[in-house]
A = this chain, B = another copy of it.
Amino acid sequence: MGKVFVVGLGPGGPGEITPRARQALTECDLLAGYTTYIQLVEGLFPDKEQLATGMFGEAERCAKAVQAAQSGRRVAMVCSGDAGIYGMAGLIFETAERQAALGKIEIEVIPGITAACSGAALLGAPLTDDFAVISLSDLLTGWPQIERRLAAAAQADFAICLYNPSSRKRKDHLWRACEILLQYKDENTVAGLAQNVGRPGESMRLLTLRELKECETDMFTTVFVGSSKTRVIGGRMVTPRGYRDV
């Protein structure tokens, strides 16, 4: 029976690819994914056949991967970060349904370190209490829905992790998101940027929510906005969780 492994590679470096993910990459006979993500692992598996597609080829990429599995092949669809969090896992199931391939192929999702975790670790510990994860990309979710989620998360004092904070086409999304958050959160709320985590140029920066609003970011940045309890401790961003006897 053919199989699709949907594999989360983590932030980028070999040190954060789990043994289980690496095993799937070893076992597969076809490496599928967005070109940039395939480049993260092709050095480890130089002889593996590749099925690479460009940035907006998600549907095509998944269609080809499921087709290949239907013909009996073992395909690893690689994703950066986690396989499920804004990754390809959902689309692989949908595609298998559409191709009437459910039950005819195996689908195994292999989790990876998502940017909420790797970025948080670089910044300190911003997500130690309840948090919300929101993508600012409106390519797949309408902007009014994104605004509604930003407002709800801010009102209930969640720490917030923002994926896809901006791109060349959407320069003002982060600015607009901060406008909404500032309706409910103090302008001095601690925020943080984690950039190029696990890749060359890795860096972090702490700032206030007010400063974040004026900040330019890119697609390799994950943004963190603290809850009302988040503090700067030793140059790091920390959301305490109420261990009262510390």
Residues of A participating in the B interface, judged by any CB pair closer than 8 Å: 8, 10, 13-20, 23, 58-59, 62, 82-87, 89-98, 102-103, 107, 109-114, 116-118, 120-122, 124-135, 140-141, 145-146, 148-149, 151-153, 155-158, 233-234, 236, 238-246
Contact = CB atoms under 8 A, between A and B. Distances in A.
A124 B19 CA distance: 20
A1 to B, nearest CB: 14
A241 B91 contact: yes
12 contacts: A8-B121, A16-B20, A16-B111, A62-B246, A84-B125, A84-B128, A86-B129, A93-B124, A114-B117, A149-B156, A151-B156, A153-B153
A22 to B, nearest CB: 9
Contact of A149 (B94, B103, B130, B134): B130
Contacts of A14: 19
B243 A91 contact: yes
A133 B134 contact: no
Contacts of A141: 129-130, 241-242
Which 6 residue pairs spanning A and B have beta carbons closest together?
A152-B156, A90-B128, A89-B125, A102-B234, A90-B125, A15-B20
Contact of A117 (B8, B148, B239): B8
